[in-house]
Amino acid sequence: MGRGGSAAAATALVCALGMTALPEAAHAAPADPVPRPDSDDGSPGSGGKSLEEVRSEIDGLYRKAEKATDAYNLARERQTRQEKAIVKIARAVVKAQKEMAGLRKRAGAMARAQYRGGGMPAEARLLLNDDPGDFLDGVTLARKGQQATHGLMSRLERTQAALDRYAESASKEWERLDGSRKKKAAAKKQITAKLAKAQRLESRLEKKERERLRRLEEDKARASQTKWLDTGILRELGAGATATGKRAVAFASAQIGKNYVWGAVGPDSYDCSGLTQRAWAVAGKPIPRTSQEQWRLLPKVGIDEMRPGDLIIYFPDASHVGMYVGSGAMVHAPRPGRQVTVAGAGSMPILGVVRPGGQALGR
């Protein structure tokens, strides 16, 4: 990051921590109604509602879209795994079919040989042999023949059973794949609807109102951060980070200023979990794609044990994630219409903290 980027990040960090001594009037948002005509779809924010009510609805819509984005990303990830599983099964089927063809060819050759011998079992032919030496040699050959026949039949049975299992597995994977595709399509439809509604609400605001809306968002985040800092949490947090954690923090911080785009994993834009996943991948530690899976699968640590590089999971449904960078701040991709930025770690309701590659809580 250049000097300009460093200065911007430092300024954002100071603001995020709620340390600035701005006059109250400088960021207090008026609660007067937004003088907009009623919309034809009855959407709030245009029928005399206050800007705070508009902000609350827009925030709620983006949160719902973010939750649906997690569902979309998870379904897409499962679809990819299922498609790979089907390809793997198909290759195994081709291999088993080739083996089956070879085994059947051998079985046919054995049947033809028996037919040429008059159809008489090898045991009967041995009993009719008058030469003791030939008889003993024949016993050995007969046993080998029996073993070969038994082995061939066993392999035929095993190969057929394998083909049956592959067919059943393929059928189940196709059903799962169809389910994942439907879930992905439903999630995308929900995302599109929520984002479109939020953008309609915001587009109806005049330029001054949109700026006031941004200040309202910042005020709300600042108030939450101040309340979090007032608990004395900074006295308990450590500043140390592993070498891997430092690399993850460096990458995430270098993305500051890039746009939030749902479903994006870089390099030009990100959604919240796309940013954290990419940062840790660059640091050398692959992690799950979605914030919900990151919360479910990564080792949890106490908030007071948080260190740079750890991921902070927000809201009861684990629908948002940011990366702790130290000094009570985190880097995250906030929402559509916003850019990757530094914010207060306590600026949203914290569900918990996870540590990629780290030790779980209580272990």
Which contacts of 134-140 are long-range, i.e. CB under 8 A and separated by 24 or more positions? none
Lookup: tokens for 80: 């990819």
Based on the residue annotation, tell me whether 272 is a catalytic residue of this protein. yes
DSSP string, 55-112: HHHHHHHHHHHHHHHHHHHHHHHHHHHHHHHHHHHHHHHHHHHHHHHHHHHHHHHHHH
Active site residue 15: no
**Residue 300 burial (C-beta neighbours within 10 Å; 0-12, 13-18, 19+):** buried
> How far is the C-alpha of 13 from the C-alpha of 345, rounded, in Å?
10
Contact 278, 251 (CB under 8 A): yes
Q: Report the 10 Å Cβ neighbour count for 195.
A: 21
Tally of CA atoms within 13 A in the half-sphere of 61 that contains its CB: 21
Distances (CA, A) of 349 to 35, 113, 317: 32, 80, 11
State the catalytic residue, choosing from 15, 27, 150, 332.
332
Question: Can you name the residues that pair with 341 across neighbouring β-strands?
Answer: 332
Residues recognised as catalytic: 272, 320, 332
